[in-house]
Amino acid sequence: MLPMHDDERVRSNPQVKVHRRRGRVSRARRLMLASLVTLTGASALAGPAIASPQSHAPKYAFTTLDNEKDTTFNQLLGINQDGVISGYFGSGMPASTHPNKGYLLVPPYGQGQYLNENFPGSVQTQVTGLNDRGVTVGFWADANNDNFGFYTRHGRFHEVNFPGSVNSGGTSVNQLLGVNDRDMAVGFYTDAAGNNHGYTYNIRDHRFHTVRVPGATSLTAAGINNRGDIAGFYTDAAGATHGFLETGHRVRTLDAPGAMSTTATGVNDQDEVVGVYQDAAGNMHGFTWTPWAGFQTIDDPNAVDNGLTTTTINGVNDRGDLVGFYVDSQGNTDGLLATPQH
């Protein structure tokens, strides 16, 4: 495999060390999956059910976390074992006035605990994931809205693009979305036909490997745990979108019961998978899934916009803490932290 284009630059907060590992038919609803495909949004379709959602165990305590630099739009995308959260503020629409700006949120959570993290020279940045060893991943955009993956390690930024994926014309899309404690990252690039291709990237030896699921026409690798198990989502030939969990050489398709689409966005070391599904009425529900209990629906009690529920779960740590976002009754996108109450 070819090495990445490796551009070392000083990160915006070199003094910060992250210790442990770990997200309506209105404009706000169209932006709910922006963290997964491009800076301006994504979509997903349908799949068959395989298990019933579990509604009550465990219960969660919900906390809204918004950076005061833009309280109208926050998405929380990853959380590590120390409770450090990665995310960003700003809808990116338009980038000239509401750009995506990345951050880390460090406990105890408060306005003074938001730490800026933006790729040098970028117009927009999202910090999508982090591990327990001080590595963060994400993507940045230039003035043309071309997306480029990056990671930070030892206080420096490094750009990552799958070989041959940067288009000479048109928009280029490369994004890193998750990373484990072995410095193995996952992400995707988009080809000229608009299809996504998932991959892993080894930060230590700069090698890429493609992630494949039989029958997938478009695939995004979104999360990876310390065993190397990968969670993500794919579209099949019929246009249906399914979540998946790859463990070794086995791929399990994850489709929430009755869902019009299921998107898996993260996974912890117990193979607890998190994500979002859309029901037939257009409601967006966060979920967790485990091999022993199946699906559990996660809805933030404040997540109602234009009469529809609007929760997305993006990240999970080994304690089962969840991060994500929801759209409220004012049309604002708010970051959420959900803590299990055992």
- pLDDT of 42 strictly over 50: no
DSSP letter for 310, please: B
Distance CA 221, CA 204 (A): 19
Domain range for 127:
9-341
Report residue 2's pLDDT band, with 50, 70 and 90 as the boundaries.
very low
What letter represents residue 290's amino acid? T
Token pair recorded at residue 241: 């979108």
Distance CA 35, CA 275 (A): 12
Closest residue by Cα to residue 233 from 249, 210, 255, 248 = 255
Is the residue at 1 inside a domain?
no
- Provide the number of structural domains found in the chain: 1
Q: Please report where in the chains the tokens 């630099």 appear, as a residue.
A: 69
CATH at residue 179: 2.120.10.30
Is the residue at 39 inside a domain?
yes
Is the residue at 3 inside a domain?
no
Is the residue at 199 inside a domain?
yes
Report residue 168's pLDDT band, with 50, 70 and 90 as the boundaries.
low
Q: What is the pLDDT of residues 173-210, one digit of tens each?
A: 999 999 999 999 999 999 999 999 999 999 999 999 99
Is the residue at 2 inside a domain?
no
- pLDDT of 305 strictly over 60: yes
Distance CA 244, CA 213 (A): 9
Q: Is the pTM higher than 0.75?
A: yes
